[in-house]
Chains A and B, each alone.
Chain A
């Protein structure tokens, strides 16, 4: 039972390069999320998708794009990476977004360094 799977686990990029972080969940959840986690800042929401076909901005969306490819997959793209985007990125999923007591299930993160 994999839960939420993120790839890659680690990545080093040069400033200006682009890349896509992949996320897939096998729990048939409707809602998916992308967060970044930085020391002292906690988890901050980048984008979320309440259901297949919809995406919405979170707290820190600038510099990122997302695609909800299907119900299982939600990708995060950095078009032109900047050192300020060095972080640990977490993908999460939940049954629905409007029911607050539905827990979010997290992947183990992608550690991204931008030089």
Chain B
């Protein structure tokens, strides 16, 4: 079983929609989670990181951790075509970062 599982999509939404991206994790020992955004033919860039349960908001982005269900989510409000990218979740665990396989998002104008 992979440390972090993520639905690969693709996910296609109209501009302005609320997007929900989700991951599950298996190791509860570490509670540091990150979301990265990766544009085509580019390296991932960090969007947000969270610790333990609860929500963290940054502009149009909200990261949420649900410890009870081992579920992490990224919400994008008022999605824009420029948000079209692959989104990777990651968990920090024993000095290493374990990444999900990524969800490809397409926001249509």
Contact partners of A98 in chain B: CB under 8 A: 95
Interface of B is mostly: strand
In this complex, how many residues of chain B approach chain A with their Cβ under 8 Å: the count is 25
Q: How large is the interface on A (under 10, 10 to 19, 20 to 34, 35 or more residues)?
A: 20 to 34
Q: Looking at B32, B46, B90, which has the most chain A CB atoms within 10 Å of its CB?
A: B46
B43 touching A42 by the CB < 8 A rule?
no
Tell me if A40 counts as interface (CB < 8 A to partner B).
Answer: yes
Tell me the chain A residues, 31-65 only, with Cβ under 8 Å from chain B: 33, 35, 40-45, 48, 50, 58-59
Q: Which residues of A contact B (CB under 8 A)?
A: 4, 33, 35, 40-45, 48, 50, 58-59, 90, 92, 97-98, 100-101, 103-109
List 15 interface pairs A-B (beta carbons < 8 Å), by A numbering. A40-B101, A42-B102, A43-B99, A45-B98, A48-B95, A97-B95, A100-B51, A101-B51, A103-B34, A104-B97, A106-B45, A108-B41, A108-B42, A108-B43, A109-B42
